[in-house]
Amino acid sequence: MNKFRIPITLLALCLTLSFSTVFAQKTSVQNIESRVETLLAKMTLDEKIGQLNQVPGDISTGTDVKKDDLLSQIRTGKIGSLLSHTNFQNKIIMQRVAVSEARLGIPLVFGFDVIHGYKTIFPIPLAQAASWDMGLIERIERIAAEEASADGQNWTFSPMVDVSRDPRWGRVMEGAGEDPYLGSRVAEARVRGFQGDDLAAKNTVAACTKHFAGYGFTEAGRDYNTVDMSDQRLHEIVLPPFQAAADAGSATFMNAFNTLNGVPASMNKNLITNILRGEWGWKGMVVSDWNSFGETIVHGAAEDDIDASVKCLSAGSDMDMAGGTFQRGLKKALESGRVTQAQIDEAVRRVLRFKFSLGLFDDPFRYLNQKRHDETLEKPEYRQVAREAAAKSMVLLKNDGGLLPLTEGSRFKKIAIIGPYADSKGDKDYMSFWTLGLGMRAYDSTKVVRPAQALKPALEKLGFEVTVTEICLDATCTEKDYSTAINAAREADIVIACVGERGLDCGESRCVASLELPRKQDLILSIVGRLSKPTVMVLFNSRPLVFEWANQNIPAILVAWQPGFETGNALADVLTGKVNPSGKLPVTFPRSLGQVPIYYNQLNTGRPQQQQGQMWTSGYLDSPTSPAYPFGFGLSYTKYSYSDLKISKSQYKMGETVEVSVTVTNVGDQAGEEIVQCYTRDLAADIARPVKELKGFEKIKLAAGESRVVTFRLSEKDLSYWNNELKWKADPGKFKVFVGGNSRDVKEGEFELVR
Ligand code: NOJ
């Protein structure tokens, strides 16, 4: 990029001069509106359309787009925002051109996908949700915002709050799982973490809640595919996390790629104007997804760029990401009278307001300070949080005979750590495609603490003898190629098998048609299984996978997800018992692909099946209907008992608060953290209601032997549903309440709601 070569001293001088002359005026919340109007009055139509145009920077996160000379486009006011630009110095140069060479000096806003950390990489979002720890999630996003803002990013395309029930979909890793209540709490925590309480502060970034809406219900789990659903499912399952993010103050929203009931989300007026801006009263700016305005043409819902521009703008979308559709179509749409000047002005106002609220007009270089940049990125203390997060995200699915933890004085002596992910240096392994802050390909894999790298010394310190053998994952590998690992396993007393998915199997456009352990890893496990050695399976995954053989034959299974930079340390913490696992599944793990979609908050049907083989009921001939592991499930090295479920009254009037309490006791011999979950079921409503709906949870710490009473308070709103008159409403009648450590194993009680 020769065009960026400008001597640094000259640059510094330009920055100072341009800043002091153009941005002498200070912004306050009160005068933003008048400054927006003053600026708008000076803008030409081309400059206005330029503000609605967002172009990709030095990395690409989507289909190819044509990139003309960025600097000359910025200079001529054709670009309002850049996305996915990594080079810090270039951002300074681009901003300087925008504020001091373009006619009106409107600063650029830089957007970036900060999905599970920026420079310090945390566990994938789905894993974070498995911690059910909102304070932790907020801290993670605070750090992500510190780093991203210090590197010149103003705006993250996160949180992704799409509820999904389909593990085939590669983006299930970016969300908070299958539940709208948990998803809503996570959405709020992320927005708070990114934005803090001052969007204009130097160390915060604007959130962008995405993908509005329905993307997680893409048919057949195929990315970008059709979405079709009832209004009730939309309101009860899909929209709540979006509304929670809007209420938490998310500055922006992003359209989704999919059609929703036939209408592409980017031109879906019902979603954007009626629901988001209308019913919810949200005031922010809506950006398209990558060329999603242009893709309305491909969907067959718009004729050309002009038609697409008319439809997307009229629906309430504002900024065009990477597509250039508005650049090509909006002016002609205005000239032909298909959109009004007022409509364009309204979209531009939202963009300008957004830039003012970030403080960019007061100091366009506030996020481009070299000193802060150098001091902030990858601080060692961020790693501590990454380690804590990775350990708290891990979910122990099985631990037969108390095989784990591996502690000093164990009956085992020799440990074989084997498997393709024992010590992998593969591109983005233990992470995901969404670690763009590290660069697309050429990143430094030594930043990741690999499993064996930390596990081996940690176990040796406890007196074990440890061998580490990797296993080839190449499609051409045969049983013979596994022989070194098999021999190591044969020599050992206990095996730790690290299996799962590659980092690059996780994220956008990474959907799968099989949920089995990829690349023949089942075979590896079954060969090891023949040795009849106690085995711990550590799964690195971005989605629920299917591993029935392991469920039947392997005594200990730990879901580690993709844990990020601190993978090895966190794994060592959990396997050696330094950290007692407390994560719980935010998503159901099926027994087989054929069960998908499988989720805990299902309807009962008129013929629910009690056991497999019961004819004329809703089941399968060849499989139970129950999942391998239910939503909310996760073991600990200690045990908890639930007793004394109390509902304060048997009848409540509408508007009264239902109080439910339960005593939780740590009946094991070590301290732990338990996630206590509260579900309800409306037994007779005007429409069929789910068998369980999560209404609250609390994560508590209990010392060995300690008991605690946990109380949940349910409001009328908690008991309401989207009824057949298209309104939220609670019905009088009987309700069940369930409290437990997962969605299956619960204590239950009943109460009645009366008028
Ligand atoms: C497409 C993805 O769907 C979206 O989530 C992301 O923010 C943009 N590309 C930008 O990378």
pLDDT digits (tens, 9 = 90+) for 248-298: 999 999 999 999 999 999 999 999 999 999 999 999 999 999 999 999 999
Choice among 166, 179, 289, 573 that is catalytic: 289
Residue 248 to residue 243: CA distance in whole angstroms: 8
Residue position matching structure tokens 């190819």: 64
Range of the domain at 668: 640-754
Do residues 504 and 467 share a domain?
A: yes
Of 560, 595, 630, which residue is a domain's last?
595
464 within some domain: yes
Could you tell me the CATH number of the domain that includes residue 719?
A: 2.60.40.10
290 CA from centroid of ligand 1 (Å):
6
Ligand 1 near 289 CB (within 6 A): yes
403 CA from centroid of ligand 1 (Å):
42
611 CA from centroid of ligand 1 (Å):
43
Do residues 359 and 409 share a domain?
A: no
64 CA from centroid of ligand 1 (Å):
13
Please give the number of the atom of ligand 1 that sits closest to the Cα of 113. 7
The residue whose C-alpha atom lies closest to atom 1 belonging to ligand 1 is 290
Segment 520-552, tens digit of pLDDT: 898 889 888 889 999 999 999 999 999 999 999
Instruction: Please report the pLDDT score of residue 9 as a whole number.
Output: 38
289 CA from centroid of ligand 1 (Å):
6
392 CA from centroid of ligand 1 (Å):
28
Instruction: Please report the pLDDT score of residue 68 as a whole number.
Output: 66
81 CA from centroid of ligand 1 (Å):
15
Could you tell me the CATH number of the domain that includes residue 463?
A: 3.40.50.1700
Of 537, 560, 595, which residue is a domain's last?
595
The residue whose C-alpha atom lies closest to atom 3 belonging to ligand 1 is 289
Of 693, 561, 578, 565, the C-alpha closest to 175 is 561
Please give the number of the atom of ligand 1 that sits closest to the Cα of 62. 9
650 within some domain: yes
Q: Which residue among 64, 155, 157, 190 is best mutated to probe the pocket of ligand 1, counting the most ligand atoms within 8 A of its Cβ? A: 157
Ligand 1 near 61 CB (within 6 A): yes
Q: Which residues pair with 700 in a beta bridge?
A: 674
Residue position matching structure tokens 């894993």: 127
Characterize the bridge pairing of strands 109-112 and 155-156. Answer: parallel
pTM for the full predicted model: 0.95
Could you give the C-alpha distances from 430 to 70, 221, 542, in angstroms and in order? 35, 23, 9
Preceding peptide of 213 cis, ω within 30°: yes
Do residues 688 and 744 share a domain?
A: yes
Ligand 1 near 157 CB (within 6 A): yes
Q: Which residue among 321, 436, 440, 511 is best mutated to probe the pocket of ligand 1, counting the most ligand atoms within 8 A of its Cβ? A: 321
378 within some domain: no
Ligand 1 near 295 CB (within 6 A): no
252 CA from centroid of ligand 1 (Å):
14
Please give the number of the atom of ligand 1 that sits closest to the Cα of 160. 5
474 within some domain: yes
Please give the number of the atom of ligand 1 that sits closest to the Cα of 210. 5
Ligand 1 near 113 CB (within 6 A): yes
150 CA from centroid of ligand 1 (Å):
22
Ligand 1 near 210 CB (within 6 A): yes
Instruction: Please report the pLDDT score of residue 475 as a whole number.
Output: 72
Instruction: Please report the pLDDT score of residue 470 as a whole number.
Output: 87
The residue whose C-alpha atom lies closest to atom 9 belonging to ligand 1 is 290
Q: Please indicate whether residue 307 is annotated as part of the active site.
A: no
Please give the number of the atom of ligand 1 that sits closest to the Cα of 174. 5
Residue 506 to residue 541: CA distance in whole angstroms: 8
246 CA from centroid of ligand 1 (Å):
19
Do residues 348 and 404 share a domain?
A: no
Of 352, 368, 384, which residue is a domain's last?
368
Ligand 1 near 508 CB (within 6 A): yes
576 within some domain: yes
The residue whose C-alpha atom lies closest to atom 7 belonging to ligand 1 is 157
Instruction: Please report the pLDDT score of residue 8 as a whole number.
Output: 41
251 CA from centroid of ligand 1 (Å):
17
Do residues 478 and 585 share a domain?
A: yes
Do residues 420 and 479 share a domain?
A: yes
88 within some domain: yes
Instruction: Please report the pLDDT score of residue 66 as a whole number.
Output: 63
Instruction: Please report the pLDDT score of residue 194 as a whole number.
Output: 98
Please give the number of the atom of ligand 1 that sits closest to the Cα of 215. 3
Instruction: Please report the pLDDT score of residue 440 as a whole number.
Output: 65
Do residues 468 and 591 share a domain?
A: yes
118 CA from centroid of ligand 1 (Å):
15
Q: Which residue among 257, 289, 293, 511 is best mutated to probe the pocket of ligand 1, counting the most ligand atoms within 8 A of its Cβ? A: 289
Residue 486 to residue 523: CA distance in whole angstroms: 12
Of 170, 161, 148, 1, the C-alpha closest to 84 is 148
Sign of the C-alpha dihedral computed for residues 475, 480, 485 and 490 taken in this order: positive
Cβ partners under 8 Å of residue 461, min gap 6: none
364 CA from centroid of ligand 1 (Å):
25
Q: What's the domain count of the chain?
A: 3
Ligand 1 near 307 CB (within 6 A): no
Ligand 1 near 292 CB (within 6 A): no
Instruction: Please report the pLDDT score of residue 11 as a whole number.
Output: 45
Please give the number of the atom of ligand 1 that sits closest to the Cα of 157. 7
Ligand 1 near 174 CB (within 6 A): no
Token digits for 460? 């040796």
Of 530, 461, 521, the C-alpha closest to 497 is 521
Do residues 508 and 584 share a domain?
A: yes
Do residues 472 and 582 share a domain?
A: yes
705 CA from centroid of ligand 1 (Å):
48
Residue 682 to residue 686: CA distance in whole angstroms: 10
Give the mean pLDDT per block of 10 residues along the chain (755 residues). 40 42 48 96 98 92 73 96 94 96 98 98 98 98 98 98 98 98 99 97 98 98 98 97 98 98 98 98 98 98 98 98 98 98 98 98 96 96 98 98 97 96 94 88 80 98 96 79 90 97 94 94 88 96 97 97 98 98 98 98 98 96 97 98 97 97 98 98 96 98 98 97 94 97 98 96
Token digits for 362? 């007061």
Ligand 1 near 679 CB (within 6 A): no
The residue whose C-alpha atom lies closest to atom 4 belonging to ligand 1 is 289
Please give the number of the atom of ligand 1 that sits closest to the Cα of 257. 3
Do residues 349 and 439 share a domain?
A: no
635 within some domain: no
Ligand 1 near 62 CB (within 6 A): yes
Please give the number of the atom of ligand 1 that sits closest to the Cα of 208. 7
Please give the number of the atom of ligand 1 that sits closest to the Cα of 322. 10
Ligand 1 near 54 CB (within 6 A): no
Q: Which residue among 63, 194, 254 is best mutated to probe the pocket of ligand 1, counting the most ligand atoms within 8 A of its Cβ? A: 254
Please give the number of the atom of ligand 1 that sits closest to the Cα of 61. 11
Instruction: Please report the pLDDT score of residue 245 as a whole number.
Output: 98
569-573: long-range contacts, CB 8 A cutoff, minimum separation 24: 569/387, 569/390, 569/449, 569/454, 570/387, 570/388, 570/389, 570/390, 570/391, 570/394, 571/390, 571/394, 571/451, 571/454, 571/455, 571/538, 572/454, 572/455, 572/458, 572/459, 573/387, 573/391
305 within some domain: no
Q: Which residue among 113, 114, 115, 287 is best mutated to probe the pocket of ligand 1, counting the most ligand atoms within 8 A of its Cβ? A: 113
Do residues 653 and 738 share a domain?
A: yes
Preceding peptide of 597 cis, ω within 30°: yes
- The region that residue 509 occupies, defined by phi over 0 for left and psi between -120 and 50 for alpha, beta otherwise, is left
Do residues 648 and 574 share a domain?
A: no
